């Protein structure tokens, strides 16, 4: 059942969203090509989250059939789509690194992701990152009361296809707020006019995951890291938002 939030609850989610954005900003600032490891970015986020009195939404998360997630954030490099586990991998010039942060603050959750260029990247990588971020905002433009989930999904997919890329079909966005994952699911492809009706007070994590090649993905032996099946680059951008009768309200911009 989709849970609609009161204005007070939306503000609490927004407070969590501020911490998420601060952590993502710190991760971006920690990137030094050829020196930083993914664990360095993890530590930068941990410092921000702890200072805010929040906790990681990911650490220890264990859906059915999965081992508990062992880190505070997800950090995915190049062909890794999502759920990469931070470690000793060095970020080199030309890499792209997707950072996904979820936090719980005073009982409410915020969730967002950004893909960063590590130094100077190829033209293809730059186009992928720009198209994915643009696709997110195309979807957000449709996330208003009276529209349907399919309107969001179709807008994302249309923009991605127009740039010659493909959306991941096996992973979706989701409701968020009192729990990290709530109904409804939000695919990044679909048909306009179909799916759950968007209503004021719904809070959603909309998150295009876009591949430079085909849409197929698979999980590695760690049961968490999802990679592109053709080994090509992937990008991931995400915001937590509140549905209103007017323009969508972004809760993870950090304002």
Token pair in block for residue 147: 């529209």
Given a contact cutoff of 8 angstroms between Cβ atoms, the answer to whether 143 and 152 are in contact is yes
Measured distance CA(38)–CA(97) in Å, rounded = 9
**What would the pLDDT profile of 47-59 be if each residue is shown by its tens digit?**
999 999 999 999 9
Given a contact cutoff of 8 angstroms between Cβ atoms, the answer to whether 143 and 248 are in contact is yes
Given a contact cutoff of 8 angstroms between Cβ atoms, the answer to whether 89 and 44 are in contact is no
Q: What is the pLDDT of residue 188?
A: 98
Q: What is the mean pLDDT of residues 112-120?
A: 98
Residue 255 has pLDDT above 80, yes or no: no
**What would the pLDDT profile of 94-106 be if each residue is shown by its tens digit?**
999 999 999 999 9
Return the CATH class of domain 7-250. Answer: alpha beta
Residue 18 has pLDDT above 90, yes or no: yes
Residue 254 has pLDDT above 90, yes or no: no
Given a contact cutoff of 8 angstroms between Cβ atoms, the answer to whether 87 and 74 are in contact is no
**What would the pLDDT profile of 197-230 be if each residue is shown by its tens digit?**
999 999 999 999 999 999 999 999 999 999 999 9
The SS3 assignment for 211 reads strand
Residue 173 has pLDDT above 80, yes or no: yes
Residue 68 has pLDDT above 80, yes or no: yes
- Report domain extents, the chain: 7-250
| pTM beyond cutoff 0.85 | yes
Measured distance CA(15)–CA(252) in Å, rounded = 9
Cα angle value 80/253/142 (rounded, 5°): 80
Can the peptide bond before residue 82 be classed as cis, meaning omega within 30 degrees of 0?
A: no
Q: What is the pLDDT of residue 12?
A: 98
Q: What percent of the chain has a predicted confidence (pLDDT) above 90? A: 96
Residue 63 has pLDDT above 80, yes or no: yes
Pairing of strands 217-219, 209-211: unpaired
Residue 65 has pLDDT above 90, yes or no: no
């Amino acid at each position: 059942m989709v849970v609609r939030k009161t204005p007070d609850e939306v503000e609490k989610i927004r407070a969590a969203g501020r911490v998420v954005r601060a952590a993502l900003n710190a991760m971006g600032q920690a990137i030094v090509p050829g020196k930083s490891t993914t664990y360095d970015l993890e530590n930068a986020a941990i410092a921000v989250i702890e200072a805010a009195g929040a906790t990681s939404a990911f650490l220890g998360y264990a859906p059915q059939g999965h081992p508990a997630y062992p880190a505070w954030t997800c950090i995915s490099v190049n062909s890794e789509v999502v759920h990469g586990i931070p470690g000793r991998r060095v970020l080199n010039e030309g890499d792209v690194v997707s950072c996904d942060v979820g936090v719980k603050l005073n009982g409410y959750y915020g969730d967002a992701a950004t893909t960063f260029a590590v130094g100077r990247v190829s033209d293809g990588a730059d186009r992928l990152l720009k198209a994915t971020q643009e696709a997110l905002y195309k979807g957000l433009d449709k996330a208003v009361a009276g529209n349907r989930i399919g309107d969001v999904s179709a807008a994302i997919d249309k923009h991605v296809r127009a740039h010659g890329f493909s959306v991941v079909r096996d992973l979706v966005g989701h409701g968020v707020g009192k729990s990290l994952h709530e109904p409804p699911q939000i695919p990044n492809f679909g048909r306009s006019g179909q799916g759950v009706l968007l209503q004021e007070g719904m809070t959603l994590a909309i998150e295009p995951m876009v591949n430079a090649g085909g849409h197929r993905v698979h999980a590695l032996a760690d049961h968490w890291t999802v990679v592109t099946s053709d080994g090509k680059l992937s990008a991931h951008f995400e915001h937590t938002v509140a549905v209103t009768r007017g323009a969508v309200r972004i809760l993870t911009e950090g304002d």
